[in-house]
Amino acid sequence: MYDDEAPPRSADIGMSVITPQTHLPDGIALLSPDKIDRRSDEEIAAWLQKRHPVTSDKNIWTFWHSGFAQMRPWTFIDGTMDGHKAHQGDLVRLPLLWKYGGLWMDAGLILLRHVDDICWKRIEDPESPYELSAVALMHLPDTYTPLNGFLATKRNNPFIKRWHDIYVALWDGVTNAAGFHKHPLLCHLPVFCPPKDAANMTPVEVNYEAFTDYVAHYMCCERLRKLSDPNDGFNGAEWYNKHMLLLNAREEMFYAQEISHWDAQRQFDLLSMPRSGDDVVVDKEWQEAEDFVTSVLANTSMVKLPHGPGSGGLVLKMLADIWDDEENHNKDNEEGTFAAYLRYGSTHFDQTREVKKLDWQNPEEEVYTVGYLEPIKC
């Protein structure tokens, strides 16, 4: 029961006065002071816009299309690309990981755990078999496909190199991804069709062939993990089963969407509500917003904020699309709101849970004995 006349109570706990003595919800702890970056946003932004030497395998990479005005023309086919901007990122993420190592994170990710705890300790451990980590989504019944929005590996990973080579081959003579699902390197694979009931998603309009074109980068990984190359002896199936550290995308990347049934408007409404201030009333709506943000802060490694691909075969409005509207400028971090609390928690809170690998066993599948750049009969 909620009393509309009750005083704000915990809503009055300002983010600036959280101390080790402050009661935090179950599953959440204060981040160790030595892990807090105390630079201002402006200082961090200035640092990011300067070149720095790469001195180790542990690097963070991301991409934003409008910042690549000076990119060399050879990065794109004949210097042009007229399809979805996301594919520009698909062409740069794997070469960076191959050459330098590190973690690729899409620009629309909010990290809630340190990368060491998510996967990097296991990647760099010489006693660990894991050489590549990714989040994975169920593609077909009982079959998980790695996504590309979060990837971690050391440099010179042979799987990464071949994955990129396959993707580049799709772009030979074309300037967009239309029809990639029919390409000779991919046409033997079933279209990317995550079961809707496995995503806790309300019914949406999906053109699965167009969506598979949009996520063709995933499909290139699917191809590689199902073949053994007689030319150089690289067995993608064996390598994948031995060295891949997978995390469940529903739990570690799309948890916020899962618990809100992928309802972007509801996510926006909850995050836009005032959490603290003189006029706040702790009612049922306030508690729902509190429970939503607290659950996210305690139970998932990251929050993925994608845009709906639209022309990519999936008609679904996302929270990022709503925040992009001019009328919602700064709603993602407006002072005193639950959105600001989520942002604050991402840099000042830690979780007490262990990030567990996805326990899965793909069904027995046919392994193709073929060169990784050779077509398979469809």
Q: Give the integer Cα–Cα distance in Å for 282 and 178.
A: 50
Whether 2 and 283 have beta carbons less than 8 Å apart is answered as yes
| Domain residue ranges of the chain, discontinuous segments joined by + | 79-249+355-362, 255-351
| Residue 375 vs residues 73, 169, 276: alpha-carbon distances, Å | 28, 11, 59
Taking every pair of C-alpha atoms in the chain, what is the biggest distance, in angstroms?
74
Residue 31, class by beta-carbon neighbours within 10 Å (0-12 exposed, 13-18 middle, 19+ buried)?
middle
Q: What residue type is 285 in one-letter code?
A: E
Q: How would you write the pLDDT of the chain (378 residues) with one tens digit per residue? A: 233 333 333 333 445 445 444 578 999 999 988 888 999 988 987 887 888 999 999 999 988 665 533 433 323 334 455 666 677 888 999 999 999 999 999 988 999 999 999 999 999 999 999 999 999 998 877 789 999 999 999 999 999 999 999 999 999 999 899 999 999 999 999 998 876 665 666 667 778 899 899 999 999 999 999 999 999 999 999 999 999 999 999 999 999 999 999 999 999 999 999 999 888 989 999 999 999 999 999 999 999 998 766 555 566 788 988 998 889 988 999 999 999 999 999 999 999 999 999 987 777 888 999 999 999 988
Angstrom distance (rounded) from CA 60 to CA 105 = 7
